């Protein structure tokens, strides 16, 4: 009887190689950073990844142009018998009809509300994307 591929033992070098490939691939995950100023009436949204740390301006809008906002939930599951959890993110609707999706997700509705309130009310608000936070949804 021929031995199946899933019954073979993997050598440690293959396991290290697989882990290294996964780790290196995750270094290119784009992270979102937000900077808002109430006195300047402007918010900037930047995108960057872990290796190329230079942020790239993705979007810019005036705080006074915000028509409404919505905190939405996204249900995530870990597959078969995996852990199920809900993460929350913010959609901002501008008076021009544009929808801005804030990618910094959190596991708490209250924290998502706090992020939005800080964006609107604080003079110098900054929320920087973090590799580990984006991996584990801990904003």
- Answer with the residue of higher pLDDT: 70 or 15: 70
Q: How many alpha carbons lie under 13 Å from residue 64 in its C-beta half-sphere?
A: 3
pLDDT tens for 110-122 read: 988 998 999 889 8
Reference 48, options 132, 126, 128, 138; nearest CA is: 128
Q: Is the pLDDT of residue 62 over 60?
A: yes
Alpha helices, DSSP H only, in 32-121?
Answer: 109-121
Residue 83's contacts (CB-CB under 8 Å, 6 or more residues apart) are: 77
CB-CB neighbours of 129 under 10 Å: 21
- Answer with the residue of higher pLDDT: 119 or 134: 119
pLDDT tens for 81-102 read: 556 667 788 899 999 999 998 8
Which pLDDT score, from 0 to 100, does residue 50 have? Answer: 63
Quote helix, strand, coil % in the chain, to nearest 5. 30, 40, 30
């Amino acid at each position: 009887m021929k031995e199946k591929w899933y019954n073979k033992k993997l050598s440690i070098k293959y396991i290290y190689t697989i882990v290294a490939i996964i780790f290196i691939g995750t270094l290119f995950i784009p992270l979102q950073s937000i900077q808002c100023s109430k006195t300047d009436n402007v918010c900037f949204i930047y995108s960057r990844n872990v290796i190329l740390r230079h942020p790239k301006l993705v979007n810019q809008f005036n705080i006074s142009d915000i028509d409404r906002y919505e905190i939405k939930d996204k249900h995530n599951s870990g597959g078969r018998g995996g852990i199920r959890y809900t993460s929350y993110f913010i959609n901002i609707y501008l008076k021009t009809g544009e929808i801005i999706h804030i990618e910094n997700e959190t596991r708490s509705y209250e924290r998502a509300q706090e992020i939005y309130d800080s964006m609107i009310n604080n003079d110098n608000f900054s929320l920087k994307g973090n590799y580990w936070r984006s991996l584990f949804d801990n904003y």
